Amino acid sequence: MIRDNIESKPIGLLSSHEDQVEHVATEKELAAVAKWRRERDERHRRYGYWADWGDPKIPKWERLYQGRLMVRLEDVRLKTERYRWGETMQRSFAESRVRKLEPAIPRILATIAAMAAAKTSNAAFDERERIAAAEEAKRRADAERRRKHEQSAAALLDELMELQSRADRLRALLVALRRTESGGRVGRLLEWTEGRLEGLEQSLGGSALEQRLEKAGLFDAEDEAGTR
């Protein structure tokens, strides 16, 4: 077994090589075919039809071990930007009827070295892919955070503008009310309206506005840095 000195993992296996040779039918196989044909002929004589199913299959080829050696290396693919799943590398070296394995040893060793280099290159490729994926995920998360920030800020702004508009309308109303008699029911309406205006002005004041922003999680130092 050939071993990788870098990872101390088996990267190749020396084994016998299978040969595909023409199959010679055995007596048992021939007897099975002859029996099936006799039974088929008998069914035809008795029932008048040919039944062609269930016939025994004699294979044309078979695999034999004839003592030829083969080195099979692990499956290592060189990853590139063009071939992200990796370009294949030769991993099998086998003897043939006219070629021995020994002359291929330099090629085998060179291939093992190339595989080790490919593993290092693949690790760097995977790291670049990981970093790029992490950066893309961060970019999308930042974009989504900015979108939500803008959405929440716009909703709060609409709410404040509505409060400000109501306060302005109340001020205009109070001006009109103060021109009328201030006693009786009108006086009590004037006092109630002044209280409403005071509440609106307090809700628009610095302390209340700070509380609104804190509750909505808007415009703190960390949020401001994340939305730039």
pLDDT, tens digit, for every residue of 12-44? 566 665 667 788 888 998 899 999 999 888 888
pLDDT at site 9: 47
pLDDT grade, residue 87 (50/70/90)? Answer: confident
Q: How far apart are CA 167 and CA 201, in angstroms?
A: 7
- Residue 64 or 48, more confident: 48
| pLDDT above 70 (res 8) | no
- Residue 67 or 55, more confident: 55
Q: Which residues, in sequence order, are bridge partners of residue 69?
A: 16
pLDDT at site 19: 67
171, 152 contact by CB (below 8 A): no
pLDDT > 70: percent of the chain: 86
- Residue 201 or 13, more confident: 201
| pLDDT above 70 (res 141) | yes
- Residue 20 or 47, more confident: 47
Mean pLDDT confidence for 72-94:
84
Contacts of 170 (CB under 8 A, 6+ apart): 193, 196, 197, 200
| pLDDT above 70 (res 5) | no
* Global confidence as pTM: 0.51
Mean pLDDT confidence for 219-227:
61
- The per-residue pLDDT of the chain, averaged, comes to 82
| pLDDT above 90 (res 108) | no
- Residue 226 or 157, more confident: 157
pLDDT at site 185: 86
Q: How far apart are CA 144 and CA 160, in angstroms?
A: 24
